[in-house]
């Protein structure tokens, strides 16, 4: 059975880091597999990748902005009265019950 090297913190130059990143890219291995085979921590590899290539981790979160939508609500009652509200927080069930009883 092949032994996996234990990861160690070792100083590496930017050129060495770049070479490791290139070796990973052509290895066909997962980051975990590659790092185990090289005896480096995956977290350290991701840090190098970000520092050297300016690429964020694929596992990192990306902020998404939801498109703004029109939250106007319009209710037409059987008696023909229309209620329009752009602030939907006012349309609570108790408010509508009072409105319907009027």
Tens-digit pLDDT profile for residues 31-67: 999 999 999 999 999 888 888 887 655 656 667 777 7
Is there a single domain that holds both residue 80 and residue 54?
Answer: no
Residue 12 included in any domain: yes
Is there a single domain that holds both residue 3 and residue 27?
Answer: yes
Residue 64 included in any domain: no
Task: Outline where DSSP puts E strands in 1-102.
Answer: 73-76, 82-85
Is there a single domain that holds both residue 77 and residue 45?
Answer: no
Is there a single domain that holds both residue 3 and residue 45?
Answer: yes
Phi-psi category of 35—alpha, beta or left, where left has phi over 0 and alpha has psi -120 to 50? Answer: alpha
Residue 42 included in any domain: yes
Is there a single domain that holds both residue 73 and residue 55?
Answer: no
Name the domain count of the chain: 2
More confidently predicted of 82 and 99: 82
């Amino acid at each position: 059975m092949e032994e996996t090297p234990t990861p160690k913190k070792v100083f590496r130059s930017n050129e060495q880091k770049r070479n490791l990143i290139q070796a990973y890219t052509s290895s066909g291995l997962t980051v975990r597999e590659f790092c185990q085979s090289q005896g480096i921590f995956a977290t350290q590899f991701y840090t190098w990748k970000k520092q050297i290539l300016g690429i964020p981790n694929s596992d990192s979160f990306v902020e998404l902005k939801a498109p703004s939508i029109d939250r106007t609500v319009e209710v037409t009652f059987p008696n023909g009265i229309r209620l329009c509200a752009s602030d939907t927080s006012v349309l609570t069930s108790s408010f509508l019950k009072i409105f319907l009883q009027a």
